[in-house]
């Protein structure tokens, strides 16, 4: 093979490898409604951030409803104001009262509804975050927050599917894993992520690992192609 032809062949292999890397690594993450941080310690207070992305191209998110589970009630729930949004906390009577600082709590928050004014809806390509301080965190393995997302065109997306082992859910509900008190982080910096004032970076993919897997696969393909370009060449058919 002549030098010019060999150079063109190697350039073509490199171009294909680069295209594979760019194309696959650009796969968007699934835009689910999520709660962050993903973990909190039982018995403590947690600052929970519900991240709500807008998934539609022709409508805005105008209302968000988050249900707090009846079987894992929080004695105290408060919301951080969001400019342009009105928050309403609904309560229910508890079948079994719970204790909080030696006080008997007979009712607890059951649902939080955020409603946007005309100028503050979550537009296409945007997201909004809603902060809640809640506690003490119930001593359960996990807390599922079922959520409803209402769009300006009237569509309601129901993020209510509970996690199932090995199942890929289409509309997963936000889930908070609860750590037992004995498993609480030892360092102040780590413990702060589960406190009412702690901030944990929010995950934009809703916990799904498939975009990362595709990116890794693209990198492997690209490296293999580059290696082939540098080490080998096609069998020449003539000089």
Pick the closest to residue 127 from 48, 200, 31 (CA basis): 31
- For residues 50 and 128, what is the distance between their CA atoms, to the nearest angstrom? 8
pLDDT band at 10 (very low <50, low <70, confident <90, very high): low
The partner residues of 114 in beta bridges, in order of sequence, read 64, 87
The pLDDT value recorded for residue 220 is 53
**Can you tell me the mean pLDDT for 80-99?**
94
More confident residue, 62 or 101: 62
The pLDDT value recorded for residue 31 is 76
pLDDT band at 229 (very low <50, low <70, confident <90, very high): low
Architecture of domain 34-206: Sandwich (2.60)
- For residues 38 and 201, what is the distance between their CA atoms, to the nearest angstrom? 10
The pLDDT value recorded for residue 230 is 54
**pLDDT, tens digit, for every residue of 171-208?**
999 999 999 987 555 555 444 444 444 444 444 444 44
In this structure, are residues 181 and 43 in contact, taking their beta carbons and an 8 Å threshold? Answer: yes
**Distance linking the first and last C-alpha atoms of the chain:** 6
Strands in 156-159's sheet, in edge-to-edge order, are 85-100, 103-116, 61-67, 146-151, 156-159
pLDDT above 60: residue 159 = yes
The pLDDT value recorded for residue 185 is 57
pLDDT band at 231 (very low <50, low <70, confident <90, very high): low
**pLDDT, tens digit, for every residue of 117-146?**
999 999 999 999 999 999 999 999 999 999
The pLDDT value recorded for residue 164 is 87
The pLDDT value recorded for residue 95 is 87
**Can you tell me the mean pLDDT for 100-120?**
92
- Is the alpha carbon torsion for 63, 42, 189, 197 positive or negative? positive
pLDDT above 50: residue 7 = yes
The pLDDT value recorded for residue 112 is 98
- For residues 171 and 76, what is the distance between their CA atoms, to the nearest angstrom? 28
The pLDDT value recorded for residue 222 is 55
């Amino acid at each position: 093979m002549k030098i010019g032809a060999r150079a063109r062949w190697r350039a073509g292999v490199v171009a294909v490898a680069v295209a594979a890397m760019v194309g696959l690594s650009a796969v968007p993450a699934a835009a689910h409604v999520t709660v962050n941080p993903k973990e909190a310690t039982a018995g403590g207070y947690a600052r929970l951030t519900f991240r709500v992305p807008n998934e539609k191209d022709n409508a805005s998110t105008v209302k968000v409803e988050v249900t707090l589970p009846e079987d894992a009630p929080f004695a105290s729930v408060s919301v951080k104001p969001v400019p342009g949004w009105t928050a309403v906390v609904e309560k229910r009577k508890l079948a079994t009262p719970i204790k909080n600082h030696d006080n008997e709590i007979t009712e607890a928050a059951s649902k939080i509804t955020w409603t946007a004014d005309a100028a503050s809806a979550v537009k296409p390509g945007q997201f909004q975050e809603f902060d809640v301080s809640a506690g003490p965190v119930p001593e359960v393995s996990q807390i599922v927050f079922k959520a409803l997302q209402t769009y300006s065109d009237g569509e309601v997306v129901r993020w209510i599917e509970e996690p199932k082992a090995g199942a890929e859910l289409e509309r997963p509900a936000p889930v908070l894993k609860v750590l037992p008190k004995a498993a609480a982080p030892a360092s102040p910096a780590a413990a702060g992520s589960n406190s009412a004032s702690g901030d944990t970076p929010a995950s934009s993919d809703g916990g799904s690992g498939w975009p990362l897997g595709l990116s890794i696969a693209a990198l492997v393909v690209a490296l293999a192609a580059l290696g082939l370009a540098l080490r080998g060449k096609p069998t020449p058919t003539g000089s």
